Amino acid sequence: QSVLTQPPSASGTPGQRVTISCSGSSSNIGSNTVNWYQQLPGTAPKLLIYSNNQRPSGVPDRFSGSKSGTSASLAISGLQSEDEADYYCAAWDDSLNGQNVVFGGGTKLTVL
Amino acid sequence: QVQLVQSGAEVKKPGASVKVSCKASGYTFTSYGISWVRQAPGQGLEWMGWISAYNGNTNYAQKLQGRVTMTTDTSTSTAYMELRSLRSDDTAVYYCARVEANWGCFDYWGQGTLVTVSS
């Protein structure tokens, strides 16, 4: 059971806009920034969005992130076939054990 | 360019230990931390812990406390993750990732190392 909650799947047709949600709590999303990772089949994860809504160099502006309270979301506009991948949200969590990173369970995006 | 290159696949018996390496290049090793993340077959990502390459400070996931040790060798810009008392549910791909100092995100990842635990 993941600390952050994501829908297990999402889908859309080429050109559509899809959003993926990520729900947490006051100790993680509520007090720290959210990062998103994209994992293409058979490859290592790649940083997609950091600090809630910032894109690393090279990430298309079709990808955007937002955060409100203890929830965050990733939006992909102008969906393309190469966007078919698993998407994970992550945040640092301020627990009794110190700071830990918690991940969402991942959302498998299918481009129909 | 920043690169993290991990050691090769391992097959271990239950109860054994494994040590995975992660050699960094293309940046000042001691200016960033390294986190380790694992992914069991068909499952999601699980954070294992973090080590500062600057001073060796560590923070491990509570679930793995007592079984995992993360170290660095600054002379070779290499990070290591040792997991002991292996069980079948430790079978996973193990990734190292550079921790970006300002935002705490994992901005570069190694290619992954498959560790299989089987009798």
Q: Do B104 and A92 touch (CB under 8 A)?
A: yes
**B10-51 pLDDT tens trace:** 999 999 999 999 999 999 999 999 999 999 999 999 999 999
In angstroms, rounded to a whole number, what is the distance separating the alpha carbons of residues A85 and A68?
25
Q: Is B103 on the interface with A (CB under 8 A)?
A: yes
Listing DSSP states for A11-24 in one string gives EE-TT--EEEEEE-
Q: Is A99 on the interface with B (CB under 8 A)?
A: yes
Q: Do A50 and B45 touch (CB under 8 A)?
A: no
Q: Chain-wide mean pLDDT for chain A?
A: 96
pLDDT at A95 over 90: no
CB B5 within 8 A of CB B27: no
Q: Per-residue pLDDT averaged across A4-18, rounded? A: 97
Q: Is B112 on the interface with A (CB under 8 A)?
A: yes
Smallest Cβ distance to B59: which of A32, A37, A98?
A98
User: What residues of A are in contact with residue B108 (Cβ under 8 Å)?
Assistant: 47
B80 vs A55, A62, A76, B71, CA distance in Å? Answer: 29, 37, 36, 5
> A61 falls in which pLDDT band (50, 70, 90)?
very high
Residues of chain B numbered 60-99 and touching chain A (CB < 8 Å): 61-62, 95, 97
Q: Do A45 and B50 touch (CB under 8 A)?
A: no
Q: Is A103 on the interface with B (CB under 8 A)?
A: yes
Q: Is B22 on the interface with A (CB under 8 A)?
A: no
Q: Per-residue pLDDT averaged across B89-115, rounded? A: 96
Nearest to B53 by CA among B100, B6, B8, B1: B100
Q: Do A51 and B103 touch (CB under 8 A)?
A: yes
Q: Which residues contact A12 (CB under 8 A, 6 or more apart)?
A: A18, A76, A79, A109, A111, A112
Counting residues of chain B whose pLDDT is more than 70, the rounded percentage is: 100
Q: Per-residue pLDDT averaged across B60-75, rounded? A: 96
Compute CA B78 distance to the chain's CA centroid, rounded to the nearest angstrom: 11
pLDDT at A70 over 90: yes
Q: Which residues contact A77 (CB under 8 A, 6 or more apart)?
A: A17, A62, A64
